[in-house]
Amino acid sequence: MNPETLSAPMPQTLVIASRESRLAMWQAEHVQAALHKLYPSCDIKIAGMTTRGDQILDRTLSKVGGKGLFVKELENALADAHADLAVHSLKDVPMDLPDGFALAAILPREDPRDAFVSNHHDSLAALPAGRIVGTSSLRREAMIRARHPHLDVRPLRGNLDTRLAKLDRGDYAAIILAAAGLKRLGLGARIRALLEPDDSLPAAGQGALGIEIRADRADVAAWLAPLHDPQTAAAVEAERMVSRALGGSCSVPLAAYAQWRDGELQLRASIATPDASRVLRAQRSARVADTAAAIELGREVSQALIGQGALDIVRALADAAGAGAEPNTPPGAR
């Protein structure tokens, strides 16, 4: 879409709300640069802020409120008109936005895979028994336990630089991170191996950036429209539908990944217990012409998982969370 064709007047000023981590600021600056190309005369500022997800580092996200901790302050800035748009890593965005907010644009996706990062080992398979692997994700934790039960998986919180620092000082033998963040910050050399989806199915939205606005800001939606990538959006919306149908959150080891193959959208999903004693998988492909069809594909895959007993896993995890326990997690791994 050419910006000259937009019915709304060209923007004079825009404020982007962003977390203050180095990766989040890169993402905001990436959107800022893209908007500058569209609207060279527009004054585009970035308002950095610290979220509760950035402040609470001594507990796993599933214990302190989940993904919403990374977006609430940014949404407050939108609601109070202190910002016009907020840039998020889509895997950090809750499946259902609060009333009054909308995803206005989804940008082309970076590498969606997980990355193995270690200073002394080439792969998970090469790690000796008992070595400590860090991850912030129950999904990755379940994957490691399923394929490499000899390893000691422990929580890893903090921004990207903090996690790498913990690895470098020897707290972990290896850590698993999203490849997209490392590549965006020019840290691709830290990746010792990329984990293919067959081995580590990505999280819904992993590698994709989303731009959130107030739902009543039709002018901002029009200005952002040229940044929207329909193919990425279809894939991500299919993934997010699976997570939405299964109550996907940080407390559920859930993966969903869609990719285009020969004109069809192929969607794979899995859900597991944290110790990986039970892993359910489903897959479907369809020709998808729009977002509605992608969402329907996500609904079909989620129903296939539900037919295998996925909701039993979700309920058990919810009950354990309410009781303050972590079900099926070996001692010493918490």
- Tell me which residue of 314, 292, 270 sits closest to 139, measured CA to CA: 270
User: In angstroms, how far is the first alpha carbon of the chain from the final one?
Assistant: 49
Cα atoms in the Cβ-side hemisphere of radius 13 Å centred on 145: 22
Which two tokens mark 227? 């940044």
Catalytic residue among 54, 84, 92, 275: 92
In contact, 284 and 224? CB cutoff 8 Å = no
Which two tokens mark 314? 């979700």
Q: What's the rounded Cα separation, in Å, for the pair 212 and 86?
A: 5
95 φψ region: left (φ > 0), alpha (ψ -120 to 50), beta (else): alpha
In contact, 163 and 94? CB cutoff 8 Å = no
User: Which residue is listed with tokens 């039709």?
Assistant: 218
Give the DSSP letter of residue 3. Answer: G
**CB neighbours (10 Å) of residue 172?**
23
Q: What's the rounded Cα separation, in Å, for the pair 334 and 189?
A: 30
Annotated active-site residue 92? The verdict is yes
**DSSP letters for 67-115:** GGGGTHHHHHHHHTTS-SEEEEEGGGS-SSPPTTEEEEEEPPP---SEE
Catalytic residue numbers, as ranges: 92
